[in-house]
Structures are given as C-alpha cells and as structure tokens.
Amino acid sequence: MKILMTGGAGFIGSHAVRLFVNKYPEYRIYNLDALTYAGNLENLRDIEGKPNYTFIKGDISDATLVSSLFSEHGFDAVIHFAAESHVDRSISGPARFVMTNILGTFNLLEAARQAWAGHSADKLFYHISTDEVYGSLGASGFFTEQTPYDPRSPYSASKASSDHLVRAYYHTYEMPVVITNCSNNYGPNQFPEKLIPLVLQNIRLGKDIPVYGKGENVRDWLYVEDHAVASDLVFHNGNHGATYNIGGNNEWKNIDLVMLLCRVMDEKLGKPAGTSEKLIAFVKDRAGHDKRYAIDSSRIQDELGWQPSLQFEEGLRKTVDWYLENGEWLDHVTSGDYQHYYENQYRKR
C-alpha cells in the first residue's frame, strides 16, 4: 500500500508518520510537506533513512503538483494532516488558511477522485480535523459527532469547510473517506507558538508568560502519541463516511494549566517554588476567544477500542523533560535555523 501523508514534518504529522513507517514496513509512506515555519525535518531524523519512507517537499495548494504526484506514485490512500493550524495566525492573516486548509484539501480530493475513478472501493481518504469546528461550549456539555458545526475563527472556519468538502466527496462521488476531530494535542515537537511549548520556552528564557484574558478558557488536552495511535486505528478500522471525535477527557482552565507548568518547571530546574509563576502576565484576550472545548470520545472508544494511554501529569512530565533535553530544537525552530537542515539534507542527495 502506498500512503500519501501530508504535513508529516509538523507536530502531529511527524508522530503519525513515525508510527506508520516503523509499524508497517510493508507500506510505502510518502510525506508531502511544504516545510512552512511549522514543518521541520529534524522531527523525523530517526526515520529519514528507512527504505519505506520518502519525503517530498511541496505545497498542497498547488493543484498541478498534487495531481502529478498521484500520477507518478499511484497512492492508494491519503492521510491528510497538512494545515495552517494556529488560531492567532489565522486572525492576523486568514488568507493562507483558505489557501492551505480549503484549497489544499480540495486539490487532494480532486487528485484522488481523478486517480481513483472507477476503482475507489479499496482506497481511503482520511482527513484529520479539529474539535474547533464545533464552536464554543458553555460551562457544561460535550462535543459529539452530532454537534452542529459552528466555527468561530478563520482557522476553525477553514477546517470546517474542508470537512464539508470531504463529506461531499463521500456522498457525491462515493469516495471512501473518514474524518477525525481531535481536541488540543500536547507533547514533543510542538511549535512554541501553542500554549504549552510557549510557556516552557518562556520559562526557559525567563520571559513573561502571556495568559489571554483572565485565563479562564478551558481546553481538553491529549498526548500527541495517543492521537497518532487513534489515527492508526481509524485508518485501518474506521467506517467509511464516519466521523470520530478524539479527546483526552482532560479539561484544564488555562490559568490552572499554566500554574501547573510553572510548578513542574521549578521542580525540574531546581528553582524555589513560586519562581516561574512570577512570569505570568495577563494580556489582552484573543478576538472571538472560544470559551471551552470538551470532547465526548465514546464513539471511538466503543467502536474501535481506543483510549487515551497517559494520565495528564505523566504526559506533561514527559513533555517537559523532552523540551528541557531538546533546547537546541527549540532554539532552532525559534531562530529558523532548522531551515538550514533541509538545505543540507538536499545538498547531500
């Protein structure tokens, strides 16, 4: 089986690519990634020489490129992670989100439709999406697969749009598709613009920790490797046309999470308790800031037997250890040095 995985140099994609490459030596995995600021081949150093793995640098918003890759390689399946993924960037510059998340997904669907015409029954288009398409919850309740879409940021609107396109291809063209909508991920290799690595990086550098508004917004956090394991299960056993919500059943108010991170960092860095907390700075709230996300993941648990594997404290400690041991990775991604890694890699080949 030849699988096109998009966005595999990013945070979640790199964990999923590693899992597929190592677990399924009989599959050929093609990782198509534009290497935007969020894509970093250093994330995949350990598998770059594997015989069943190929990296392709390219942009999914380029329809000609995407369709020529289907002709050249004859992909049997797509697992589509590539996206612009940061809400704050979508507020300051929404155009790129439309290009990558909507047009890019459309290009992949169209290329697959053309390539698989008349023999799509054993193919699969697996689209990775987010719980943010469901909008914002009040103090109670959970997002289920039946929750009506109500996206409220340019990011979530672009992801919602891509989900609708994927479902339209299932109903209209009978393309085998599956979609997952996951809650906030955390773990190694996350770009330090997202809350958890940003807090760790700022503590490391002794910089202020910006907490939006009063820090009362709530997110449901899942360890990234649990998302990768869920993607393996859904890819192999998910029902075509179905959606599965994935979540950590692990809700945290931002300020409580930031305080916990401060405590763990003080402990790990051997600083007196209360040191890092002093860096917390309440800043202007995010525009249209969704109040609360919480996922009901009973469907994937009941139908596919998936469960989050790690308790949050354990996952968080593993994450903190990884960032402390990989200060060079953090420095590279924040300075842009990782882009030299790509250039060096390609000069060698």
Walk across the sheet containing 124-130 and list its strands. 53-57, 28-33, 2-6, 77-80, 124-130, 177-182, 243-246
Is 159 a binding residue for ligand TYD by CB under 6 A? The answer is no
Active site residue 131: yes
Show contacts with ligand TYD in window 232-271 (CB under 6 A): 254
Active site residue 132: yes
User: Which entry of ligand TYD, ligand NAD, none binds 210, CB below 5 to 8 A by partner kind?
Assistant: ligand TYD
CA-to-CA distance for 333 and 343, rounded, in angstroms?
A: 15
Is 39 a binding residue for ligand NAD by CB under 6 A? The answer is yes
DSSP 187: S
CA-to-CA distance for 319 and 337, rounded, in angstroms?
A: 22
DSSP string, 62-84: -HHHHHHHHHHH--SEEEE----
Is 184 a binding residue for ligand NAD by CB under 6 A? The answer is yes
Phi/psi of residue 145, nearest 5 degrees: -65, -15
For residue 221, list its beta bridge partners. 184
Interface residue with ligand NAD among 3, 21, 29, 33 (CB under 6 A) is 33
User: Which entry of ligand NAD, ligand TYD, none binds 211, CB below 5 to 8 A by partner kind?
Assistant: ligand TYD
Is 159 a binding residue for ligand NAD by CB under 6 A? The answer is yes
Which tokens belong to 166?
């994927």
Number of residues in contact with ligand NAD, rule: CB under 6 A? 30
* Phi-psi category of residue 5: left, alpha or beta, with phi > 0 → left and psi -120 to 50 → alpha: beta
Shortest Å distance, C-beta 260 to ligand TYD: 13
316 vs 32, 203, 320, 323, CA distance in Å?
A: 30, 15, 6, 11
Is 177 a binding residue for ligand TYD by CB under 6 A? The answer is no
Interface residue with ligand NAD among 59, 145, 150, 266 (CB under 6 A) is 59
Is 195 a binding residue for ligand TYD by CB under 6 A? The answer is yes
Q: How far is CA 213 from the centre of its chain?
A: 25
Active site residue 256: no
Question: What angle in degrees, to the nearest 10, is found between the helix axes of 312-325 and 254-269?
Answer: 50
Interface residue with ligand TYD among 152, 194, 227, 292 (CB under 6 A) is 194
Contact assessment for residue 104 and residue 61, using Cβ atoms and an 8 Å cutoff: yes
Number of residues in contact with ligand TYD, rule: CB under 6 A? 12
User: Which entry of ligand TYD, ligand NAD, none binds 264, CB below 5 to 8 A by partner kind?
Assistant: none
Cβ closest to ligand TYD, residue 219 vs residue 227: 219
Residue numbers at the binding site for ligand TYD (CB under 6 A): 87, 184, 194-195, 198, 210-212, 217, 219, 254, 286
Active site residues: 131-132, 155
Residue numbers at the binding site for ligand NAD (CB under 6 A): 6-7, 9-13, 33-36, 38-39, 59-61, 81-85, 100, 104, 128, 130, 159, 182, 184-185, 191
